[in-house]
Amino acid sequence: MSPRAPRPGEPCRHLVVEDALLVDPASGHHGPGTIVVEDGRLAEVTWATPARSRKAPAVVVMPGLVDLHAHLREPGGEDTETILTGLAAAAAGGFTTVCAMPNTTPPLDDAAAVRDVLARGRASRSPVRLLAYGTITAGRSGERLAPMAELAAAGAIGFSDDGAPVDEAALFAHALAYAGGIGRPLVEHPELRSLTRGAEAHDGLAATILGLAGWPVAAETAAVARALALLEDVARQAPAGAAPRLHLTHVSTADALALIRAAKAAGLPVTCDVTPHHLALHDGWVGGDRRFAWEALAAPWAGKATAAEAYDTATRVNPPLRSPDHALALWAGLVDGTVDAIATDHAPHPETAKRVEFGDAAPGIAGLETALPLVLAGVAAGLADLATVVRALTAGPVRALGLTARGVPEPGLTVGATADLVVVDRAAPWTVRAATLRSRAYATPLEGRRLESRVLATVAGGRFAYLDEDWAGGTDG
Amino acid sequence: MTGPQPWRHRHLLDVAHLTAADLDTVMRRADEMAVILRHRGARRASLQGVGVTILFYEASTRTRVSFEAAAKRLGADVVNVAAASSSVTKGESLVDTVRTLEALGADVIVMRHGRSGAPYLAADVFGGSVVNAGDGWHAHPSQALLDLYTLRAHLPGGRIAGRKVVILGDILHSRVARSNVWSLTTAGADLWVCGPATLLPGFEAWARALPADRRLTVTADVDRALAGAHAVMALRLQQERMTAGLLPSLAEYTAEYGLTTARLRRARPGALVLHPGPMNEGVEIAPDVAAGPTSVITEQVANGIAIRMAILELLAAPR
C-alpha cells in the first residue's frame, strides 16, 4: 500500500486493475483482462483467454464517460450547482467529459460568456473536461440568431436553446443552415410547446388517475417531425462543406424514435440521445411506483408493493417520464443503433423549486452520479449488452457531436494513450441519498434506492478525478 | 361485512386507498352523526380541544361551510384561513404555511387547493392529519363519500353493488368524478362516465387497466349511458372549457349533454339525480330536473355535514 490514497486531481502515477472486464469501443474488443496505468498513460492492456466456466468479473473498466447534456448552473445559479460541484458529481459518476448547456444566467449567447465558463472550468482544477454549448438564439428568446461564429471561436461545441425550443420554424431552419456553415451541430430539445402548456405528466394512466394535466407524446413526435423536415430541406440546399447537423436530445418516445430511425435510414445527418431516467424509470413513479420500467411493463397496480408517496416532485422532468413501453422502445433504439448516446440531462434544482406543489415544481433532476448504475441495471436485466451501453456513453456521443475536433480523445483502452477511464464494480451496492451526492441538487427520484453498481475510480486526462475511499485495490505502488 | 373495522388512516388524501370496509366504517359513523344532526343544537364533544384549520386556496362556499359546521358540532376549535387573506398572497410556500399553522395549534388541516397532489405535500410536512377537501383535478374524498352515503340512503336495500350509476359532464377536469370512480367501483356499482369526447381522454385506458372486479364504462353516447340507470350525477361545466377550445359553446353542450326531463326518461323510473354543486341550472342540468321528485341534490348538501363529522372524528378524535 502507498502511504495514502491519491486525491482527486493528483496524477495517476500507478494503477493496476486485474481480472476485470475490459470494454474498448475503439477496437470493439471486450472481455476479461488487466490494465496498468503508469505515469498517467495506459501502459498495458492484457486480454485474458476467457475461461468458459468463469463468470464475467464484476469489475468493469471502460473509457471515461462523455455527457452531452448537463446543466451546471454557473454563472447565475451557484446556490443550485457550481462548475466545481457539477464536475465533482461528474467525476463520481464516471464522466470525464461534460458538455454544459448554455441556459445559465446570463445565457451563453456571447463569446465572452463562453470564454468565462470555460475559464471557470480550468480554474476548478478538476481533471474532468468541461465543454460548453452556445445558445441558438440571443437570450434564448427564439427571435434572432446568437453570434454563432463568435461563440464557436470562443470554444462553443455546438448550439442549443435547450428547454426553450425554437418555436419559429423558419428561424430554426436558418439556425441549422448557419451552424452547418461553421461546422457545428444544433442540439434541439424537441417539444411542441402549444401542446404542453400547463402539462404536468405523461398523458398516460398515472396522469389520468392523479388528475395531472397530460403531456402528449405528440408534443415530441410533432417537434421531431418538423425538425427532420427542416433538416432535409436545409441539407438538400447546403453548399459543399456546410452540411447541417442536428442532434435531438432526451428523446423519450417510441414514436419520435421511429421517425429518427427512418430519417437515419434515408441518410439525414441526424443523431440523438436518451437519458438514463427515461430508460429506467416510467410515469408510474409519479404515482409512487418504484419498479424499473422493465419490471413494470404489465400489471399497473402491482407497483403498490414498492410504492412511495405520489406526487414526488423528484419525478418531474421535461420531457416527462413516459410509460414503460416507451422506455423499452428506447432500449430497443440503443440496441439497433438509432440512439447514438446516453446523456444525463443533469438538471439540479434547489429546495425552493422542488419542495412545492407538483405542478409548480421545476422540471429536472440530478443525473450525473446515478447514470451509470441505472444503465447497468438495465444491462443486468438483459435489455442491452454491456458493449452497447458503453459505446453510447463514450464513443457514441463523441462521434455524434464530432468532439474529437474539439480536443476530446477518441474513447478507448489504447496502449500508450493518456489514461481516460472509469473503473466500476457491478456488485458493490450503495444507497442513493441526495444529501450525500456531490451535486447540490435537492432531490433525486432514486432517494433511498439501492443501486448495485458503484464507480471505484475515474481517471481523466491521466489524473485521478475520483477514487472511492473504500477501494484499496489497484493504486498501491 | 364483518362489522366495523379499525380505522387505520392518519390522513384522508384520496379515495383510492379506502377499502370496502373503510367505506362502511365511514357510512356507519355518518349514520351516528345524522342522528345528532336531527336534534337542533345537539353536539358531540369528541373533538373538544382539537384544532381544526380550514385552509382554502380556492373559492368555495358549500364545502368550506360544511367542514366548519361539522367541526363545530364536534366541539373542535375551528380556524378559517382563506388563502386570499393570508400571507399566501405574499408568496409564502405551502410548506411554510403548513408549518406555521401547526405552530399555531392546528391538529387537523382541511385543505382545498388548485394543484393536484398539494395535500400530499402538506401531509409530508404536517404532524397532524390532513383532510383533502379537493385538489386540482385529482380528488374530492368527502364529496365522493357523501355521494355514496346519499345513494345508499335511497337505493332499495341500501345496496350499491350492481346498480348502474352515471356521471355526466366534464369528466377530465373533475376531482369529483375521479374520487367517485374509486368509491363507487369499490362499492360494486356498475359505473358509467359520459361526456363529450374532449372531456374524456385517458378514462378509457383507466377503465381497461382496472381489475376485473371493478366496473367502469366510458362513453360519449349519452343515450347509451343513461339507459336503465339507477342514478345520474351531472357535473358542473365551466366556462373555461369553451375558451380552451374543448367545446364550441354552452348551448351546444346543453343540447347534446344537458340533463333534461326528456333525457332522464331513458334512465330507470325513479332514477336518482345528483349534482355536487354549484349548479349552472339550464346548462348541465335543467331546473325542473334539479328540483324534480327524484332529485337528492339538497340532501347531498345536508349529508355532507354528517360525512364530514364522521371523517373528522375518525381521523382526529383522541383515542
Task: Please report residues of B whose CB lies closer than 8 A to that of A310.
Answer: 117, 120
Is residue A105 exposed (0-12), middle (13-18) or buried (19+ Cβ within 10 Å)? exposed
Residue ranges covered by each domain of chain B: 20-139+303-316, 141-300
Work out whether the CA dihedral A438, A443, A445, A447 comes out positive or negative.
positive
At A2 the pLDDT is 46
Which of A211, A214, A311 shows the shortest C-beta gap to B121? A311
Which CATH code is given to the segment(s) B20-139+303-316? 3.40.50.1370
**Percentage of chain A lying above the pLDDT 70 cut:** 96
Quickly state the pLDDT bin for A1 (edges 50, 70, 90): very low
Task: Please report residues of B whose CB lies closer than 8 A to that of A443.
Answer: none
Amino acid found at A242: A
> Cα(B287)–Cα(B273) distance, rounded to whole angstroms?
12
Q: Are A212 and B95 in contact (CB < 8 Å)?
A: no
Count how many Cα atoms sit within 13 Å of the Cα of residue B199 in the half-sphere of its side chain. Answer: 31
Q: Any catalytic annotation for residue A345?
A: yes
DSSP letter, residue A343: -
- Report in angstroms the alpha-carbon separations of A69 from A130, A188, B62, B169: 11, 11, 50, 44
Task: For B39-89, write each residue's pLDDT tens digit.
Answer: 887 778 999 999 999 999 998 989 999 999 999 999 999 999 987 655 555
Task: For A394-413, write each residue's pLDDT tens digit.
Answer: 999 999 999 999 999 999 99
Q: State chain A's maximal CA–CA distance in angstroms.
A: 64
Task: Please report residues of B whose CB lies closer than 8 A to that of A352.
Answer: 93
Q: Are A86 and A439 in contact (CB under 8 A)?
A: yes
**Percentage of chain B lying above the pLDDT 90 cut:** 89
Task: For A286-303, write each residue's pLDDT tens digit.
Answer: 999 999 999 998 777 776
* B20-139+303-316 shares its CATH topology with B141-300: yes
Q: Is B218 on the interface with A (CB under 8 A)?
A: no
Q: Is B138 on the interface with A (CB under 8 A)?
A: yes
Residue ranges covered by each domain of chain A: 64-409+434-449
At A7 the pLDDT is 82
Is residue A298 exposed (0-12), middle (13-18) or buried (19+ Cβ within 10 Å)? exposed
Q: Are B121 and A213 in contact (CB < 8 Å)?
A: no
Interface test with B, best of A202, A208, A289 (most B CBs within 10 A): A208
Q: Choose among A416, A417, A314: nearest CA to A370.
A: A314
At A477 the pLDDT is 41
- Give this complex's ipTM: 0.96
Task: For A213-233, write each residue's pLDDT tens digit.
Answer: 999 999 999 999 999 999 999
Task: Please report residues of B whose CB lies closer than 8 A to that of A214.
Answer: 201-202
* Residue B265 pLDDT greater than 80, yes or no: yes
Task: Please report residues of A whose CB lies closer than 8 A to that of B201.
Answer: 203, 208, 214
> Cα(A74)–Cα(A117) distance, rounded to whole angstroms?
8
* Residue A473 pLDDT greater than 70, yes or no: no
* Residue B2 pLDDT greater than 90, yes or no: no
CATH architecture of the domain with residue range A64-409+434-449 = Alpha-Beta Barrel (3.20)
Report the gap between the CA of B115 and the closest CA in chain A (Å): 6
At B3 the pLDDT is 57
Task: For A72-88, write each residue's pLDDT tens digit.
Answer: 999 999 999 999 999 99
Cell of A368: 450525473
Q: Locate the chain B residue with the closest alpha carbon to A359.
A: B115
At A300 the pLDDT is 73
Is pTM, for the whole model, over 0.90? yes
Q: Choose among A93, A94, A71, A445: nearest CA to A281.
A: A445
> Cα(A48)–Cα(B150) distance, rounded to whole angstroms?
76
**Percentage of chain B lying above the pLDDT 70 cut:** 96
The whole-number average pLDDT for the span A256-262 is: 98
Domain B141-300, what fold? Rossmann fold (3.40.50)
Q: Locate the chain B residue with the closest alpha carbon to A358.
A: B117
Catalytic residue among A345, A420, A425, A468: A345
Residue A71: Cβ within 10 Å count: 25
Report the gap between the CA of B82 and the closest CA in chain A (Å): 18
Report the gap between the CA of A286 and the closest CA in chain B (Å): 10
Report the gap between the CA of A252 and the closest CA in chain B (Å): 20
